[in-house]
Amino acid sequence: MREAEETQLGAFRKITRFLVQHGVETHGITPTTIEQRTDLRINQFFWMWFAVNFNILAFSTGSAGPAFFGLGVRHSLGIIVVVDLITSMIPAYFALFGPKLGTRGVVQCRFSWGYYGSRIPSLFNACSTQGFLILNCIIGGQTLAAVSSNIDETLGIIIISVISLTVTFCGYKFIHWFESFAWVPSALAFPVLVGMAGRDLSLTTFPVKPSPSTASILSFSSMVASSIITWCTLTPDYGVYHVQSAPKLQIFLYVYLGFLLPTLAWHIIGAVFAAAAPGIPSWDAGFEGGTNVGGLLAAVLSPAGGFGKFLLFFIALSTSCACAPTMYTFGISFMAISSFFARIPRYIFVIVSEAILIPMAIIGAKQFYDTLVNILSVIGYWTSAFASIVLAEHFIFRRSFSSTAYPTQNWDKAKLLPPGIAAVLAFSCASAVMIPCINQKFYIGPIARAGLGDIGVFAGWCTAFVVYIPLRLIERRIWPAR
C-alpha cells in the first residue's frame, strides 16, 4: 500500500516538474519573501481588476433591481451609485495585503482568525469562489447561446468553463498577462451597445413603477454590496509578487478604480435595460420575462445584424476574465483548509473546480435570477462579517503592515498566531444576528418579514465589528504575545 502511494507521489512530482519547466505556476500558500516580490508594474492592479469586473455579471446584478426586486430605474440607479462608491473601497484596501505582506487572503486572515479558526473562512471561500464561477459561466453560456442557433446554453457554459480552465491552469503570471488585454474587445463593444440601445430608449419606454418598499430598496442594496465585498477575499492573491515598497495610496486607487469604473458602468446599463425592456417588445421577448440576460443583450444589438452578434460574442467571452481568478483562488482556499490539501499541487484543484462547475452551472441556469440572488447574497453574508473582523484587527490592533505587526514567518505556526477564539465567536454572533435578517427564497427571517427586507450583509458587518473588538482585547490579555 505504501509503495503504491509513493509511486503516485512520484508520478505527481514528475508531472509537476514538467509543468514548471513549461511555465506553469506551482507555488502554493506559502507567503512570498521580499526578495520574491519584484514586480514593479503597479498599474497592473488597475488592468487586472478592470478586466475582472468589466463583464456581464455586473450587468446581471444591475438588472436585478427592476427585474427581480421590482424597482424603477431612478431608485435602482440611486442605489447602484451610492453602494458602488462605498463598497469598492473594501476589496481595494484588502489588495494592499498582497504586496505588503506577501500573503494570500486566506493566509493573511490567520493573523486574526488563528491557524485553526482560519479554516472556516478558507472553506467558505472555496465554496464562494465556486459559486461565482457558476454565475459567470451561466451568464457567458446564455450570451453565447444568443449569438448562434448552433450553440445552446449548455454548450456555451462548457466553452466559457474550458477557457477559464486553460487560463487558470497556467497560474498567477499567465492570469495577469491574460487580464492585461482580455478586457479590450468587451470595452470596444460597450459604447456600441450603449449607442444601439439609445435609439430605442425614451422616457415613454420606462413603465411607471409604484413607490418601492423599504424591503426592496434594502434587499437590492444588500445584493449590490455583496457582489463587490465578496472580492475582498481574492484581491490579496494577485499582488503577492509585486514590490513591497509600492505606495499604499497608489495601489489602493488603482484597485478602487479598477472596481468602480467597470462595475458602475455595467450596473447602470443593466438597470436601465431591464427597466426599459417591458416597454420595448423586442427587448422584452429577448429578456424572456426577466430570465435571459444574454437574450436581452442580443435583442439590443439585433439591429446591427451580424456585426451585433460579433460584438455579443466578445461580450460573452469577457466572463472568462472573472472566472479565471475565482477558479485560481478556489484552489488556494482549499490548500489553506488543512496541511493535507496544501501538499496537493495547485493545478489539481483547477481540474476539480472544473468538474464541479459544469454540471452545477447547467442546473443553475434553469432558474437564473433565483440562482444569482441566492449565491451573491449568501456569499455576501459571510464575507461581510469576515471583512469586518480582518479590518478591525488591522486598524485597531496591528495598525501597520510592518514585520513586527505581521510576523509572516509564523504563518503556519499555530502557537504563535492568535488563538482565533475572538474571531470565531464574533463570526458566530454575526451569523446569529444575520439569520433573522435574511430574505431569500429558501428562508425569510422574522426581521426581514417585518418589512426591512434583506439586511443580513449590513447586520453581519456591524455585529462582527462590535463583538470582535472586546473579545480580541480579552484574548490579547490572556495571550499577550499572540
Per-residue confidence (pLDDT) for residue 6, from 0 to 100: 47
pTM above 0.95, yes or no: no
Q: Evaluate the CA torsion angle 266, 267, 269, 270 in order and state its sign.
A: positive
Per-residue confidence (pLDDT) for residue 25, from 0 to 100: 65
Asked if residue 371 has pLDDT above 70, the reply is: no
Asked if residue 385 has pLDDT above 80, the reply is: yes
Grid coordinates belonging to 305: 445584424
How close are the terminal C-alpha atoms of the chain, in Å? 42
Of 148-157, 279-288, 360-369, which range is least confident? 360-369
Per-residue confidence (pLDDT) for residue 1, from 0 to 100: 46
Q: Report DSSP letters for 218-281, one per residue.
A: HHHHHHHHHHHHGGGGTGGGGSTTB-TTS-HHHHHHHHHHHHHHHHHHHHHHHHHHHHHGGGSH
Counted domains in the chain: 1
Structural domain contains residue 179? yes
Share of the chain above pLDDT 70, in %: 92
Q: Report DSSP letters for 331-352, one per residue.
A: HHHHHTT-HHHHTS-HHHHHHH
Per-residue confidence (pLDDT) for residue 18, from 0 to 100: 58
Kindly report the average pLDDT of the chain as a whole number: 86
Structural domain contains residue 8? no
Q: Which structural domain range is residue 130 located in?
A: 31-369
- Kindly report the three-state secondary structure assignment for every residue of 401-439: CCCCCCCHHHCCCHHHCCCCHHHHHHHHHHHHHHHHHCE
Per-residue confidence (pLDDT) for residue 45, from 0 to 100: 94
Share of the chain above pLDDT 90, in %: 42
Mean pLDDT of 284-307: 84
Asked if residue 111 has pLDDT above 50, the reply is: yes
Structural domain contains residue 431? no
Mean pLDDT of 84-96: 96
Structural domain contains residue 445? no
Per-residue confidence (pLDDT) for residue 5, from 0 to 100: 46
Structural domain contains residue 376? no
Per-residue confidence (pLDDT) for residue 22, from 0 to 100: 46
CA distance to 228, 285, 334, 347, per residue, from 339 (Å): 30, 52, 10, 17
Of 170-184, 229-243, 379-393, which range is least confident? 170-184
Which domain CATH number covers 124? Answer: 1.10.4160.10
Structural domain contains residue 337? yes
Per-residue confidence (pLDDT) for residue 213, from 0 to 100: 85
Structural domain contains residue 246? yes
Per-residue confidence (pLDDT) for residue 114, from 0 to 100: 95
CB neighbours of 455 closer than 8 A, spacing ≥ 6? 218, 222, 437, 447, 448
Structural domain contains residue 193? yes
